[in-house]
Amino acid sequence: MTEDNLIKIFCNSLKIDAKDVNINSKSDDIEEWDSLAHLTFLSAIDKETSGEASKIENLGEKYSLKEILDTLNKNNL
């Protein structure tokens, strides 16, 4: 997954403008990123990866775009 692709999925999931987001964004930085939004975002990532993301055990515990991207990349997604 590329940085740009992850940000696009994130912004579409939370219905926010990409100009307000970068790879260093964390859940504490973005008001819209609450627990429900986190699940929505993870679900969108899973859909984009044809169900492979849901197999990553600790992905749901990542609360920054950089951590999520790194985890996806470590798992070859």
Question: Whole-model pTM?
Answer: 0.94
Q: What is the pLDDT of residue 71?
A: 98
Rounded-to-5 percentages of helix, strand, coil across the chain: 60, 5, 40
The domains located in the chain, with CATH, are: 3-74 (1.10.1200)
| Residue-wise DSSP of 33-44 | --HHHHHHHHHH
Task: Write the pLDDT tens digit of every residue in 3-52.
Answer: 999 999 999 999 999 999 999 999 999 999 999 999 999 999 999 999 99
Query: pLDDT by residue (tens digit) across 44-74?
Result: 999 999 999 999 999 999 999 999 999 999 9
pLDDT at 64: 97
